[in-house]
Structures are given as C-alpha cells and as structure tokens.
Structure 1
Amino acid sequence: MPRPAILPLIDWKAVFGSGLDYEAWLAAAESAEQRDKLEAQRQALRLDPAVAGFLAALPRPVHVVAIAEDWCGDVVRHAPVLQRMAEAGPALKVRYIRREQHPEVFARFLTNGGEAIPKFIFLSEAFVECGNWGPMPEACKELIARGKACGDVASARKKVSARYELDSARREVVAELLRLVDIAASQEP
C-alpha cells in the first residue's frame, strides 16, 4: 500500500505573525460597503454573560489564524463573532490572513474539496494546531453537503439562510467556537 503524502510542517507562529489584527484587516477591506456590514454585525452582537466570563478567565493564551476576506457573506456573518469573543477574552488573540497570503495553509483547510471561507485555525499558547472551524456551523455544512449529494445546492442554501435568520445572536457559532477555544486553552487532557 502506498504511503500517504507527508505535508510540510507549518510554522504557525510565523503565519500568525504575518496576519493583521481586526482593525487593520477591516481598514484594508476591499469594499467600504462590506466593511460597514462587518462593523455593524460586530457592534450588534452581544455575548451571553457566561460566555464573556469564560473568555475573560482563559487560563492561557489561544491564538487564532482567521482566513477571511471581506467580500464573502459567511465572513461578514462570522468574523464579527470571533472578534467579539476576542474582545471579551484578552487571552484570545486573532490574526487575519488572505487565502493567497499563505496558499500552503489554505490548501489544508478546503471544505469538501472547495475553497470556502472563513476558516479559523485554533492554536495553543505554543502555536500547536488544536482544531479549525468554518466556513459555517456544522449543521449548515451538513445541509450544503446534502444539497450537493442530491444535486440541489440552491435549496440547501435557502435552508442555511433560514437557519441564519433564526439565530441572529449567532449562538450556534459562539458555541462551536467556544468549544475550540476551550480545547486550545486546555491545561490537561
């Protein structure tokens, strides 16, 4: 049996260091309209006090590399959630990169073989990869996969949009991201 390809190691600390913080990333947005949407989403989002308290008490730093571009609707929905979480927890540090900035990184995080963003890669204090999220909540990814399987992606996208409308507080996204933050901040197995 042939051996699987061995992928080169990624210097996550360098990738993180090459990224922009939220403010610089937002300032570099391609579209003023999208920048305004991102900021409106961020300002409108309120985290549950228990979530904010958990984030404020993280026992050690968590680094997140966010592959995100402002033209993408899912980025507009989800990057502000990650940013609000980072604002609540000073130990949660996020840097934004573009797909073409690190193609070797992006190639590892395709969604069912497709280029979908955002992708949030969660790293421990020592820059060890602990998990990733994106481009949308798990239940929505499943809907899209089912739509592809039966040849009706348009209906799947409508169902995803309906889920987004029902969860305007982004509780599903917060819960999934919080789980990954918890893993990356772990002090024991």
Structure 2
Amino acid sequence: MKIGERLKGLPDWDTGMLWDEYLDYVPRSHSMQIKRYESIVEDELAPFKSSPVSGKIILLSEEKCGDGAWAIPHIVRIVQVVPNIDYRIFFRNEYPDLMDNMLSGGKRAIPKLAFLDEGDKIVGSWGPYPKPIAPYVHERAGRLDRSEWYPKVLKYYREEGRGDLVREMRELLIDT
C-alpha cells in the first residue's frame, strides 16, 4: 500500500460488514469483543467526534485472529463516532486480492486497516499491531514458539495497548 495510490482489489463496498453483522461471524470471541468495544470511554471518543477527515475505513481480519479480536472492537468504536467516515470489515480469506494489496512487510498479517479518501486513494494505514509492540512481535513471530513470546503481547494489550491504539487512531483520523 502506498499513500496517494488507489487501493487495488477493493470489493463492492456493500459486501463488507458493519459491527453488528461482524459480531454474528465471531461466536468464539463475541462476548469479549463486545466488552472491548464498550471499554472505549467517552473521554477517549470525544476528540474523534469533531474530526475533520472524511473517507472510508477498510478493516481486514479473520474470525480466529486473536489480534483482530483485540483491535477490531476498539477501532470500530472509534470510527463509528467520526462524522464523515464510513467503515466496513472484510475477512482476509474471502478477499485475497484486497489482502494482497494491504500487506505488512510483505506478509498477509491482520488485523489491517486502510484509510481511503472519497476517490479510494490511500490516506493512511494501520496494523497489524500498535507501534510499541510491533518490533517485539516481528522479531519473534515465525522464529520462536508462540507460547514463548505471545503472553507478553497479551499483557501489553491488557495494560497499555488500548491507550496506544487510541493514540494511533488519533494520529490517523485527526492529525492527518
């Protein structure tokens, strides 16, 4: 993905899911995702309600993606209050062309977000992890057994992750 280019592989917008429909497809993590969605408080949402940006947000994830189950509820809660933003959630495996145009370091890593203007040109992106934890994950994923390093990621998500994610969404959706 390159800023200023049209996103290739973009499916029909109406085939994407809104939050309520997405929840129907994530039964294993449904209740936890609702709790995460509700954990974003009014003070965190307030700056987004007056964001001057407009466009679309595309979110890619999968039902069995733990990182997506953590990030998607937080991101959706935020983008829902931005006045001129529309969003859709797509499952990576159902839209391989879209995923192949949203790679992270050459990998099909999710969750992934693309922020598009009205002409479907890329304004910004996010994912698959908040910046503070991303180097830690990239150094270990695929090299070490996940059970050796992923507990630290989960601890980060519980303790600092939401604040970092909100900050990064502010950079993307307000400071752009």
- TM-score tier, shorter chain, comes to 0.7 to 0.9
> Could you tell me which amino acid in structure 2 is paired with residue 34 of structure 1?
S
Answer whether contact 2:9 2:97 (CA < 8 A) is retained: no
**What letter corresponds to residue 132 of structure 1 in structure 2?**
S
**Alignment partners' CA distance in 2, 1:9 and 1:120:** 12
CA contact (8 A) 2:6 2:120 kept: no
Distance 1:72 1:116 in 2: 10
Query: What is the aligned-residue RMSD (CA, Å)?
Result: 2.7
Identity of aligned residues (%): 20
Please list the CA deviations of residues 131-177 of structure 1 after superposition, one character each: whole Å capped at 9, or x if unmatched. Answer: 2111111222200122259x446444233222122226x01011112
Contact 2:133-2:153 at 8 Å conserved across structures: yes
Corresponding residue of 1:74:
67
- Show the counterpart of 1:175: 167
Using the TM superposition, name which of 95-104 and 109-118 deviates more.
109-118
More helix by share: 1
Residues 9 and 122 (structure 1), Cα distance of their counterparts in 2 relative to 1, 3 Å cut: closer
Q: Could you say which residue in structure 2 is the equivalent of 1:44?
A: 39
Higher relative contact order (CA 8 A, sep 6+): 2
Instruction: Work out whether 1:20 is the aligned partner of 2:6.
Output: no
TM-score, normalization: structure 2? 0.81
Q: What are structure 2's unaligned runs of at least 5 residues?
A: none
Q: TM-score, normalised by structure 1?
A: 0.76
The 4+ residue runs of structure 1 with deviation greater than 6 A are: none
Taking a change above 3 Å as real, the CA distance of residues 128 and 8 of structure 1, as seen in their structure-2 partners, is: closer
* Bigger CA radius of gyration: 1
How many residues align? The count is: 171
Task: Say whether the 8 Å CA contact 1:68–1:119 is kept in structure 2.
Answer: yes
Q: For 1:104, which of 97, 121, 137 is the aligned residue?
A: 97
